[in-house]
């Protein structure tokens, strides 16, 4: 009796294995279509289709989703993506597009998390503030931009470009205002001192200024178009 039960169990298992094999390997269970589950503004659906096309006709269950996903996230403007099977013959694709907040150098962009990406064309984003420096400092420069702009809002100045040099000196460029240079040593005190002292600078000096050098411990220098002068206005 026991042998008959064991034989029946084995027989049922073989049937299940056979059915599973049929599901996996049957020609009728192949990838036939895909669906993009959300609307896209920058990523072309045709680009996604070109990526998926080589996978059509492959086994639905043996389809390499990780490989397909990796190819999708390499497309321009794709920040994140998910790729899932949808029985019986479809994959569903959800794409989160990059949202640039500033430019990075001449060819790149930064999203709100400070991640650098390089689309093939950024002409439409020339109005964004440009950040530049070592790639490893991108996230910090984005934070610096917020802090500096808040400070210069007190003077009505708008930052157009922020650069961090290799010697840890910020070069801050403005719309219709002279450049500001600031080093990282005690920078908050130096910046606040300049913001307080600037309204006291003589109009003649302001008018001809091309750069304010804030790197001094006891004041800041006003470098003019024709000559360089230094002021000892340290603030309080």
- What is the per-residue pLDDT across 180-190, written as a single tens digit (0 to 9) for each? 999 999 999 99
Instruction: Say whether the peptide bond before residue 88 is cis (omega within 30 degrees of 0).
Output: yes
Q: Looking at the predicted structure, is the pLDDT value of residue 229 above 60?
A: no
- CA-wise closest residue to 77 among 107, 37, 38, 122: 122
Residue identified by tokens 């403005």 is: 174
3-state secondary structure of 211: strand
**Residue 225 — pLDDT band, cuts 50, 70, 90?**
confident
- CA-wise closest residue to 162 among 186, 177, 176, 181: 181
Q: Where are the domains of the chain?
A: 29-97, 101-224
pLDDT at 91 (0 to 100): 98
Are residues 129 and 163 in contact, defined by beta-carbon separation less than 8 angstroms?
no
The CATH number for 29-97, chosen from 3.10.20.30, 1.10.490.20, 3.10.20.310, 3.30.70.270, is: 3.10.20.310
Alpha-carbon distances, residue 149 vs 9, 94, 178, 207 (angstroms): 74, 36, 15, 22
CATH of domain 101-224: 3.40.50.11690
**Residue 236 — pLDDT band, cuts 50, 70, 90?**
very low
pLDDT tens digit string along 43-77? Answer: 999 999 999 999 999 999 999 999 999 999 999 99
Distance of CA 127 to the CA centre of its chain: 17
pLDDT at 132 (0 to 100): 98
Give me the sign of the Cα torsion angle 70, 74, 80, 81: negative
Percent of the residues in the chain that have a pLDDT greater than 70, as a whole number: 83
pLDDT tens digit string along 187-209? Answer: 999 999 999 999 999 999 999 99
**Residue 232 — pLDDT band, cuts 50, 70, 90?**
very low
Mean pLDDT of 139-145: 98
Mean pLDDT of 75-82: 97
| Average confidence score pLDDT of the chain | 90
pLDDT at 14 (0 to 100): 60
- State if pTM tops 0.95: no
H-run or E-run covering 35: strand 33-36
């Amino acid at each position: 009796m026991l042998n008959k039960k064991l034989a029946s169990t084995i027989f049922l298992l073989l049937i299940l294995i056979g059915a599973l094999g049929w599901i996996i390997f049957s020609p009728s269970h192949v990838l036939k279509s895909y669906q993009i589950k959300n609307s896209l503004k920058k990523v072309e659906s045709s680009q996604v289709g070109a990526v998926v096309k080589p996978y059509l006709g492959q086994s639905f269950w043996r389809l390499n989703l990780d490989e397909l996903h990796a190819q999708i996230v390499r497309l321009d403007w794709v920040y994140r993506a998910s790729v899932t099977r949808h029985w019986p013959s479809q994959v569903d694709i959800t794409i989160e597009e990059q949202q640039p907040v500033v430019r990075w150098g001449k060819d790149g962009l930064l999203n709100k998390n400070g991640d650098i990406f390089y689309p093939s064309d950024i002409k439409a984003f020339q109005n964004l503030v440009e950040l530049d420096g070592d790639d490893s400092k991108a996230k910090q420069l984005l934070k610096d931009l917020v802090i500096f702009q808040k400070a210069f809002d007190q003077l009505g100045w708008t930052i157009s470009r922020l650069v961090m040099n290799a010697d840890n000196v910020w070069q801050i460029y403005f719309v219709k205002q002279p450049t500001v240079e600031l080093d990282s040593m005690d920078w908050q005190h130096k910046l606040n001192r300049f913001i307080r002292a600037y309204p006291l600078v003589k109009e003649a000096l302001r008018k001809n200024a091309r750069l304010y050098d804030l790197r001094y411990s006891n004041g800041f220098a006003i470098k003019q178009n024709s000559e360089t002068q230094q002021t000892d206005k340290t603030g309080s």
